Amino acid sequence: MRRLSSPEPVLPLRHSQQADRRSRWLTELAELIAFPSISAQPQHRKDVRACADWLARHLAEIGLQHVQVLAGMNGGHPSVYGDWLQAPGKLTLLLYGHYDVQPVDPLSQWRSPPFKATIVGENLYARGASDDKGQLFIHLKAVESYLRTTGKLPLNIKVWLEGEEEINSPNLSAFLDREASRLQANAVLVSDTEMLGVNKPSIIYGLRGNISCELEVRGPKHDLHSGRYGGAVLNPLQALSEMVAGLHDRQNRIAVPGFYRQVRNLPPTDRQAIRCCSKRDKQILTDLDLPRGWGETGYSLFERMTIRPALTINGLAGGSVGSGSKAVIPDRGIAQISLRLVPDQTPQEIAQLLQQHIAATTHPAIRSRLKITGGSPPVLLPRNSPVMQAAQRSVHQTWGVLPCFTRSGGSIPLVAQLHRRLQVPIVLLGFGLPDDDIHAPNEKMNLSNFFRGIETIIRFFGEYGA
């Protein structure tokens, strides 16, 4: 691991003080992680709320004001808010993070309990360690460090911690209707992304959009004995398999007519720039421990993951499998499907094309229903705003290298909406690593990145506030 030789510690402390402080930070982070705040699972509703309450107390403890738990819209999960607005005439920065996390199944594949922060070597393992409890905590510890050391901040700060990011922020629009003025700021900082690799910090300027949907196929009114009726009744699971298989063509392109119509083809120079800052196919496959890639011909794996759209079957269910399985033609089958969109596709248009395609490929002997459960447009953020430049400088000072401007394959629905609603620049400066296994078992956060992230954000406050 490369070590920086030059940069001064931002807020100098004696070594023992620093060790004490870091140890306390990790203890606090472990408390935050211990809440199983899984927004997608109704049985964890109370845990999500308890996590919000804990965060509200914590915001007050570190010196933020006007702290409150803001009720979720439409019965959704709450947000947590706090601010420090004692720098009149200075810019105001909104810090965004989300405290809800992904489900943990398959639980059997976790090497340590998902909600017990477990340090092994350089890493802290837990659900949310990287996405996004660990990263929102980087913001909070930067604020705390500044306030404890100097008694003030070099700019005005608002903190907003969301509780519905992992379910695609379904109530965000209504929330922003109500809270837009409270959240108004000159720029937004989001740390919910990853670097390109160890010591390869990056600022994300492009995110894919997404659509999530559920395809249900129904056949007989109830399960039928497959011995008796097998061969004479269309099996919904077979029809579903055929429909799912038909969503891609032989070139691994998405087979929905019109799907690529609005996809912006990047000029060679842009693709060249992306290539410079991205992993090679071989490295990606090595990292994933996969023998080979897959996808649309004519594009690198990184390009397929970022500048090209994708359609993924996230789940299949129907009938039963395993030792307790039944000899039936089941009455229905379900596929959970998500799509990733790129400029200039819109969720509305793609959802419509998808509905048409499903209707057109539904066998007359069965019924199908495509339920769109969420959607968010792709985002491109300008790279030349003052806040982007400040972020670049603070990364350079802390890491000794300039950050790459790159694109991510993921979606942060909030970013698209916030960009449109608040009309301010947004900086996506995250400290995750590609092997953090977010959304998967054994999610982790690299502790060195965690501490260096805090340093970076402390510097960013100074650079942007100056």
Site string for its own copies, 239-278 (x = CB under 8 A): -xxx-xxxxx------------------------------
Q: How far is the CB of 466 from its own copies (least distance, A)?
A: 35
Asked if 428 and 203 touch (Cβ cutoff 8 Å), the reply is: yes
Q: How far is the CB of 343 from its own copies (least distance, A)?
A: 15
Residue choice 63, 113, 293, 400 for contact with its own copies (CB under 8 A): 293
Considering beta carbons, is residue 77 or 141 the nearer one to its own copies?
77
Q: How far is the CB of 169 from its own copies (least distance, A)?
A: 13
28 vs 22: CA distance, rounded Å: 10
Report if residue 232 touches its own copies, rule: CB under 8 A: yes
Q: Which of residues 105-144 bind its own copies (CB under 8 A)?
A: 105-106, 109
The Cα angle at residue 455 between residues 451 and 459, in degrees rounded to 5: 165
Considering beta carbons, is residue 369 or 396 the nearer one to its own copies?
369
Report if residue 442 touches its own copies, rule: CB under 8 A: yes
Residue choice 330, 347, 453, 465 for contact with its own copies (CB under 8 A): 330
Q: Which residues, 6+ apart, have CB-to-CB distance to 348 below 8 Å?
A: 375
C-alpha distances in Å from residue 458, one per residue of 10, 16, 276, 302: 7, 20, 29, 31
Q: How far is the CB of 318 from its own copies (least distance, A)?
A: 5
Report if residue 68 touches its own copies, rule: CB under 8 A: no
191 vs 115: CA distance, rounded Å: 21
Q: How far is the CB of 87 from its own copies (least distance, A)?
A: 36
CA-based R_g, the chain, Å:
24
The Cα angle at residue 107 between residues 104 and 112, in degrees rounded to 5: 95
DSSP state of 104: -
Considering beta carbons, is residue 304 or 459 the nearer one to its own copies?
304
Q: Which of residues 393-432 bind its own copies (CB under 8 A)?
A: 408-411
Q: How far is the CB of 246 from its own copies (least distance, A)?
A: 8
Q: How far is the CB of 441 from its own copies (least distance, A)?
A: 6
Residue choice 25, 115, 302, 460 for contact with its own copies (CB under 8 A): 302
Q: What is the 3-state secondary structure (H, E, C) of 127-140?
A: CCCCCCHHHHHHHH
Report if residue 41 touches its own copies, rule: CB under 8 A: yes
The Cα angle at residue 379 between residues 74 and 285, in degrees rounded to 5: 110
354 vs 258: CA distance, rounded Å: 9
Report if residue 351 touches its own copies, rule: CB under 8 A: no
Report if residue 231 touches its own copies, rule: CB under 8 A: yes
List helix spans (H) across 151-235.
Answer: 172-183, 226-229
333 vs 330: CA distance, rounded Å: 8
Considering beta carbons, is residue 295 or 343 the nearer one to its own copies?
295
Considering beta carbons, is residue 38 or 203 the nearer one to its own copies?
38
Report if residue 227 touches its own copies, rule: CB under 8 A: yes
Report if residue 326 touches its own copies, rule: CB under 8 A: yes
215 vs 337: CA distance, rounded Å: 7
Residue choice 314, 348, 352, 389 for contact with its own copies (CB under 8 A): 314
Q: Which stretch binds its own copies (CB under 8 A): 13-21, 324-332, 382-390, 399-407?
A: 324-332
Q: Which stretch binds its own copies (CB under 8 A): 82-90, 328-336, 382-390, 391-399?
A: 328-336
SS3 295: coil
Comparing CA positions, the residue from 115, 112, 39, 116 lying closest to residue 78 is 39
Q: Which of residues 367-396 bind its own copies (CB under 8 A)?
A: none
List helix spans (H) across 158-247.
Answer: 172-183, 226-229, 236-245
Q: How far is the CB of 422 from its own copies (least distance, A)?
A: 23
Report if residue 295 touches its own copies, rule: CB under 8 A: yes
Instruction: For residue 132, say if its preceding peptide bond is cis, omega within 30 degrees of 0.
Output: yes
Report if residue 211 touches its own copies, rule: CB under 8 A: no
Q: What is the 3-state secondary structure (H, E, C) of 38-91?
A: ECCCHHHHHHHHHHHHHHHHHHHHCCCEEEEEECCHHHCCCEEEEEECCCCCCC
Report if residue 235 touches its own copies, rule: CB under 8 A: yes
Comparing CA positions, the residue from 453, 464, 455, 462 lying closest to residue 202 is 453
Q: How far is the CB of 176 from its own copies (least distance, A)?
A: 22
Q: How far is the CB of 302 from its own copies (least distance, A)?
A: 8
Report if residue 197 touches its own copies, rule: CB under 8 A: no
